[in-house]
Amino acid sequence: MAETAHREGIVTRSTGSWYDVRTDDGTTVPARVRGKFRLADNDVTNPVAVGDRVTLRMNEQDDTGLIVDIHERTTKLSRRAAGRRAGEEHVIVANVDRAWAVQAVDLPRFNPGFVDRFLVMAEVFDLPAGIILNKIDLMDDISSEHAAAVDDFCTLYNDLGYPVLPTSATAPANIDLLREALHDEVSVVTGPSGTGKSSLLNAVEDTLDVATGAVSQKTRKGTHTTTYATLHPLSFGGYIVDTPGIREFGLLDMHPADLCHFFVEFIPYLDDCRFPDCTHDHEPGCAVKDAVDAGAIHPMRYESYCNILYSLQDGQEGTGR
Ligand SMILES: Nc1nc2c(ncn2[C@@H]2O[C@H](COP(=O)(O)OP(=O)(O)O)[C@@H](O)[C@H]2O)c(=O)[nH]1
Ligand SMILES: [Mg+2]
Ligand SMILES: [Zn+2]
């Protein structure tokens, strides 16, 4: 009997029992999962996730594949499953290289509260993150105060280690840099509606049909959270992750006391608060607040921290589940 052919690829889509696997020669193979993977890990609802690199054993009769090996993941975005398997982990996408938040200079004006929630999410999952600041063509139309705030915004996040990439989809500007940033990576691109995500992705590649980013309220609140992510291949190499549920894997079940560890610039101060259980909100002798007063932590970031802290304390986060 002839030796069975094996191929490697990346899972680009999942419909529950069938997976699209894009093999290294660029063809897409429908594939199923070998039974043992379904049973192997009881705490995970989906042992194979979009973004996984897999080995297929090919069925030469019908050109379908059997997923016989799942390669080790570098990263994963996940959330707690709802419904019948409540509490179990559902992996939304594996092996994301970077998550980008799209913001606009104006219309709608950039929103540090959104950005900081997004960055906490990225830190929770240990994902490199960056910010695409779109609509820079509007810089000429805004007040000098507003322009100074834009500069402050860029400096703040660049200094924290989150690259800010200024773009214009319509002017256009820096589309080549954006292409370079996405090249050969698996990128999540999210951001509020109206910031220009679709326009940017069209500028990068006009065949992309991605509805990425802001979630419709209906999807978020719906009881059917089996919304699968999709990987869209880029012609110049790499993938854009499209997920309707991007915001719901935000802050999951985080304990309020853990939040401060995901504000990267707070970390050096956390051991110096007077109280070991300091929430860095109202307590005297708080090293984080001292650092804000001393100008070492930006007040905007501290404000975001407090807002997220209060919503965690009130149980308002993670309502997308
Ligand atoms: N001035 C300006 N307008 C833009 C730019 N990018 C997108 N827009 C406009 O902003 C609006 C929303 O863009 P869209 O791509 O649909 O945003 P999405 O909701 O994030 O996908 C549209 O009217 C676009 O033409 C830009 O770089 N500069
Ligand atoms: Mg859009
Ligand atoms: Zn403190």
pLDDT digit string, tens, across residues 246-279 = 554 555 568 999 999 999 999 999 999 999 999 9
Instruction: Identify the band that residue 169 occupies on the pLDDT scale cut at 50, 70 and 90.
Output: very high
Per-residue pLDDT reduced to its tens digit, 107-135: 999 999 999 999 999 999 999 999 999 99
Looking at the CA of 137, name the nearest ligand: 1
- pLDDT > 90: what percent of the chain? 70
Q: What is the mean pLDDT of the chain?
A: 88
* pLDDT at residue 261, as a whole number: 97
What's the 193 CA to ligand 2 centre distance in angstroms? 6
pLDDT of residue 294: 98
Listed residue (174, 247, 172, 173) closest to 212, CA to CA: 247
**Span 278-289, pLDDT tens digits:** 999 999 999 999
210 token code pair = 């991605």
**What's residue 210's pLDDT?**
78
Cβ 138 under 6 angstroms from ligand 1: yes
Give the whole-angstrom CA distance, residue 202 versus residue 209: 8
pLDDT at 319 over 50: no
14 CA → ligand 1 middle, Å = 30
Looking at the DSSP bridge assignments, the partners of residue 53 are: 10
Q: 97 C-alpha vs ligand 3 centroid, how far in Å?
A: 32
pLDDT in tens, 10-38: 999 998 789 999 998 899 999 999 876 65
For residues 146 and 276, give the distance between their C-alpha atoms in angstroms, rounded to a whole number.
39
Cβ within 8 Å of residue 81, ≥6 positions away: 45, 87, 88, 89, 90, 225
Q: How far is the CA of 190 from the centre of ligand 2 (A)?
A: 10
Average pLDDT over residues 151-171: 98
Domains of the chain from N-terminus onward: 6-72 (2.40.50.140), 96-242 (3.40.50.300), 256-313 (1.10.40.50)
Q: What is the pLDDT of residue 178?
A: 98
Output the residue whose Cα is nearest ligand 1's atom 6.
196
pLDDT band at residue 218 using 50, 70 and 90 as cut-offs: very low
Question: What is the CA(182)–ligand 1 centre distance, in A?
Answer: 19
Who has greater pLDDT, 168 or 217?
168
Model confidence at 293: pLDDT above 90: yes
- Angle value at C-alpha 118, between 147 and 314, nearest 5 degrees: 110
**What's at 147, amino acid-wise?**
A
* Residues 38-77 pLDDT 10s: 555 556 778 899 999 999 999 999 999 999 999 999 999 8
Ligand 1 pocket mutation, candidates 199, 209, 210, 212, criterion most atoms within 8 A of CB: 199
| pLDDT band (50, 70, 90) for residue 152 | very high
| Long-range contacts at 306-313 (CB < 8 A, ≥ 24 apart) | 306/281, 307/113, 308/116, 308/117, 308/120, 308/251, 308/259, 309/256, 309/259, 309/279, 309/280, 309/281, 312/251, 312/254, 312/255, 312/256, 312/259, 313/256
% of the chain at pLDDT higher than 70: 85
Residue 270, sorted as left (phi over 0), alpha (psi -120 to 50) or beta, turns out to be alpha
Residue 47, pLDDT score: 85
Nearest ligand to the CA atom of 190: 1
Of residues 248, 319, 191, 232, the one with CA closest to residue 77: 248
CB atoms within 10 A of CB 45: 20
- Residue 166 beta carbon below 6 angstroms from any ligand 1 atom: no
pLDDT of residue 87: 74
Give the position of tokens 């915001």.
247
DSSP SS3 for 171: coil
